[in-house]
Structure 1
């Protein structure tokens, strides 16, 4: 007779899981033993053990994002469980199905203040869409099945708590009995389509518009063809959220990339000019960049009904899967013959891309231009490449310069915006698609958090990948640069070196110590050769790019408050005052020249009312 642990492992396999991200400990020890036995018997799960439990949960979330499958992470009781929280919140806030299996002290110890015993259900209640302790073998099947089913339907993390003594109990064959649920390991369909009456209302709303814009989120993943077909029919412009760069190919001429601080000027102009706004699978959180109330009629399509109609007053909220809903909607869309809206967006995007290239070519005295590093990376991305970005200025440059073509993937920690996620995301992507080239872009502050440790994980598993090419770009500027800029632009405070300085480390040397290729880039002229060498290397490469910390992550629209706060911060004695003034001036001059050349509406993007 199988134990509860052996049953749970088999049930996890029945849910289609083949890989787990885990860290051992005595609270989950019996379960770990069963995993080892299953591996020896040839019926186990691939067990990936990084250097920290937080990495496990971030990897599980990344696996879900890149594959559409349920990500699974495993950890021991209290300390291990607590370390999972950050990655589980990443799953919660980016609507990803993840199941966490965590250990607990024995049943008799609950509530008795014994070592590593804590109220894990209460701890996990805020982050989890479902959390339950298995207190008997008869309960195990229903809890496991409910956890997976709920994670898939409610798009969030579910938590299974497995006490140590229950892990080793014998698992009986379930028979009809009071209080015993006999459940199934069958995923429910999420291909939800709204009623026909709502489809017709949506079509009428869109058909009435002359300047239609789609804001496309990660919830539209897998619906690329449907989004493009709908946009072609109604002459819509396309904006993607940062996490949805992969949904719409960058070569679609009326795709203006992102909106907001790391977006494009054509996206700003879409928002100021559209008369119809369609949200597709997105809870875009930055309402300040959306149209004025009453300017545009709006509708939203999403599987998360509680997140609809939050950012802009929508007339119609369609609870449905984007792909299935668009398939039902497209036959009712009128074919627009006037494509001037799309054509204007396309023309502006040509000018915008010229501006981004010009910004990348600016040289700075105090380090490599980080824009240049991303610009040259983008030119060399191989087919089906996967790019991960961290938060901070790496996300700025990723948004401004990386253009994902059809078949490529890219992602980052979105609404949570957690530092260091780029490394576990990249490694999880490599496990999911070991034949692809993966590029991780990360700042030195995030790399020092736990990212450096994960080079050890890469070394451990490198030989399991069909294509061992993985490139890590570290932006080495010895500063928490995004927060430094936020101190200036948001709070009118000078940079505080005590909090912002990052100790300089030879990151390329650390990679070389582990047997990898390290490349140091200290001038702009070395950028192209560095990328060429990295992509020629069939192995692990770390590019240690000594970049300027004073390159301003200029938004497409600079408000009066942005400029005023920055000026005040500098006047208060910012330690980098002269470099910031010099480098910002260079960037602004380049911006102005390119906008005159491209005939982009400079007056409009400088208007505080945009």
Structure 2
């Protein structure tokens, strides 16, 4: 009979925590653990990525898409909201009955493998997402000798895994350290790291007998239910009842409170804006739902934030503070599960620390039921702004571009997106078009790298979603920059795995404009500088033909009239599909007015320095500015 090793005990503990899937890459520092995985009849399954950074992104996304189990994080383009789950996350509101089966786990070897994990683990930290990393290390006998691939891993991870980072020195530590890593990750919504030297993995597993100096622990965790004090609820109700122009700013902390948010808005006669992370948790078809706030948000949300006199923040920690009401112009109440977050972005008067759904129910019972009727004129104003914004969305999507307007790509997706789909975004200009153009069905989860805003996350995130629920279609929206950074490599992983999926539909839409467009527009906006080709040009790559080389389907689109048919063909396919759309990099990333109006001069200055090359973008910028001015006014 094979001796039971520390590595076997590690695998057993992961199974005890309900872990069904690991993401990673093998290497000598973790090979004993890999051998134990092979011997384990009950799993977990090992998913090999093409790079440890992508494996870490997959683990984070696995946690984020698992919000139905424990309330994990959601994600924006920097700067972003740091929201997530667990009993004390940033910008959330919690829910009972969560367990650990959705937590993402990533495995890597020592040295370069460990270093490669950092980007993904910082994604988890900044988006407050629970993840556990298991990292190999050189033999304990050579630590401190500058041995090959020896890195001081405790120092390497001390910031990203500030809540828990431990190195196992003896077999007796293994259950305790793993248990604490999982509990801490779930309780603090953060990444935790367990480092296990190679020689420790190979030692015989310990049988704990309660002796002095050993600790026997249990693989258990549960979420408390938190409701604010009654006096605070009474104070919040008085403040909200006194308002005339009330709005809700909804973040990812409202993921379990969609109906309560809707009822609260109706009871208060309030408009609703969301953070980027909160977008999936509000029904945007509602006539008073003004869409996303902030730089990549809508002018309707900007109107709300500039005109309201009372603000109720629900589970949001969005840092776009220049878009909040000017301090002193609106009284505010904030609901958040974390006491650290209340008053973090705006000078609120009443803090309600608790679960969003339960808190909103308690608060609703204290409000004047006649408030909505008194605020009907305000609701009419909000409704007109929302209707104007939706009209502008269509107008912009149909604005001619060279050759395809990227806004139209997402506009055409809205009526064709399957209601059981899962959506993943890469980071870049595609997030703007998602925020402004996509009307999400309430059943479609959306995830991407948020506060860290790391390019290259799109396909790894989509893979994690698909592996969690292979019976649902997955959609990835990605720029050509993100695809060239990591998406092309991970299409190899898609090609290797898709035949095992109950639903083979995995649709990657590439916004192919040959430009790092978001950075190009940032250079014009924030620096007044022209586009600089050596830093912004991207080499040609045949995304659709590459998909066909891998045994999948490729679709090329250069005519905007073909977009609808391309989406329909992709969703009808019996293989994964890459849609390569030639989009126009000159379509401006213009912030909603009045903030956008203040940035026009700098953007024009940059474009004018580009001479004839910038003329097309300058014309589009002028057209977009005139559209916004016509409907929403200037600075």
TM-score class normalised by the smaller sequence: over 0.9
The alpha carbon displacement at 1:574 in A equals 5.3
Secondary structure of the corresponding residue to residue 376 of structure 1 = helix
Aligned residues: 594
Contact residue 494 and residue 574 of structure 1 kept, 8 A: no
Give 1:324's aligned residue.
358
> Hey, what does 2:138 align to over in structure 1?
105
What residue number does 2:506 align with?
Answer: 470
The aligned residue for residue 114 of structure 2 is 81
Question: Match for residue 436 of structure 1?
Answer: 472
Q: Which residue does 1:58 correspond to in 2?
A: 57
Say whether the 8 Å CA contact 1:230–1:333 is kept in structure 2. no
- For the residue of structure 2 that corresponds to 1:434, the secondary structure is coil
C-alpha distance in 2, partners of 1:372/1:265? Answer: 18
Tell me: CA distance 1:575–1:183, structure 2 relative to 1, closer, same or farther (3 Å). farther
Q: Within 1, Cα distance between the matches of 2:232 and 2:207?
A: 47
Which of the numbers 116, 119, 144 marks the counterpart of 2:152? 119
Contact 1:190 1:321 in 2 (8 A): no
Shift of 1:139: 1.2
Q: Which of 491-500 and 292-301 deviates more?
A: 292-301
Give per-residue Cα distances to partners, 1:215-244, cap 9 Å, x unaligned: 111122222122222222222221111122
Please list, as runs of the form range in 1=range in 2, the aligned pairs for 1:391-406 lying within 5 A after superposition. Answer: 391-406=427-442
Equivalent residues of 2:513, 2:584 under 8 A apart: yes
1:230 and 2:267 equivalent? no
What is the aligned partner in structure 2 of residue 507 from structure 1?
A: 543
2:483 is matched with 447
Match of residue 372, structure 2, among 337, 344, 354: 337
1:188-587 matches, within 5 Å, as 188-335=222-369, 336-338=371-373, 339-340=375-376, 341-364=378-401, 366-557=402-593, 558-573=595-610, 576-587=613-624
Aligned CA distance change for structure 1 residues 55 and 522 (closer, same or farther; 3 Å)? same
CA contact (8 A) 1:404 1:410 kept: no
Q: 1:327 to 1:465 in 2, by over 3 A?
A: farther
User: What stretches of structure 1 of length at least 5 have no aligned partner?
Assistant: none
Instruction: Answer with 130-139 or 572-581: which moved more.
Output: 572-581
Does the 8 A contact of 2:295 with 2:320 survive in 1?
A: no
> Is the 2:110–2:149 contact (alpha carbons within 8 Å) kept by the matching residues of 1?
yes
Relative contact order, higher structure (CA 8 A, sep 6+)? 2
Query: 1:316 Cα deviation (Å)?
Result: 2.6
- The C-alpha deviation readout for 1:515-572, integer Å capped at 9, x for no partner, is 1111111121221221121122132111100111101122221545411111221333
Distance (whole Å) between structure 2 residues aligned to residue 106 and residue 311 of structure 1: 47
**1:422, CA displacement in angstroms?**
1.3
Task: Determine whether 1:8 maps to 2:10.
Answer: yes
Aligned to 2:80: none
Contact 1:393 1:553 in 2 (8 A): yes
Give the conservation status (yes or no) of the 8 Å contact 1:520–1:544: yes
- 1:432 Cα deviation from its structure 2 partner: 1.4
1:220–1:280 contact (8 Å) kept in structure 2: yes
Which residues of structure 2 form unaligned runs of 5+?
Answer: 68-101
SS at match of 2:281: coil
What is the RMSD computed on CA atoms of the aligned residues? 1.7
Does structure 1 conserve the Cα–Cα contact (< 8 Å) formed by 2:266 and 2:372?
Answer: no
Cα 1:449–1:238 change in 2 (3 A) is: same
Is contact 2:275-2:294 (8 Å) kept?
Answer: no
Q: TM-score normalised to the size of structure 1?
A: 0.94
SS at match of 1:452: helix
Measure how far apart 1:344 and its partner are.
Answer: 2.6
* Alignment CA distance shift 1:299-1:78 (3 Å): farther
Q: Give the stretch that moved more between structures: 476-485 or 204-213.
A: 204-213
Name the CA distance, whole Å, in 1 between partners of 2:365 and 2:545.
58
- 1:103 deviation in Å? 0.6
Instruction: For 2:411 and 2:341, locate their aligned partners in 1 and report how far apart those are by CA, in whole Å.
Output: 35
SS at match of 1:531: helix
Please name the residue that 1:23 is paired with: 25
The alpha-carbon distance between structure 1 residues 101 and 324, as it changes in their structure 2 partners (threshold 3 A), is farther
Shift of 1:315: 1.7
SS of alignment partner, residue 332 of structure 1: coil
Instruction: Judge conservation of contact 1:74–1:100 (CA < 8 Å) in 2.
Output: yes
Measure how far apart 1:174 and its partner are. Answer: 1.5
More moved, 463-472 vs 233-242: 233-242
Measure the CA separation in 2 of the matches of 1:207 and 1:591: 33
What displacement does 1:398 show? 0.6
**Does the C-alpha gap of structure 1 residues 425 and 574 become closer, same or farther in structure 2, counting only changes over 3 Å?**
farther
Distance 1:305 1:82, change over 3 A: farther
Q: What displacement does 1:192 show?
A: 2.2
Counterpart Cα distance in 2 of 1:84 and 1:303? 29
Q: Are 2:110 and 2:138, in contact at CA under 8 Å, matched by a contact in 1? A: yes
- How far residue 465 of structure 1 moved from its aligned partner, in angstroms, is 1.5
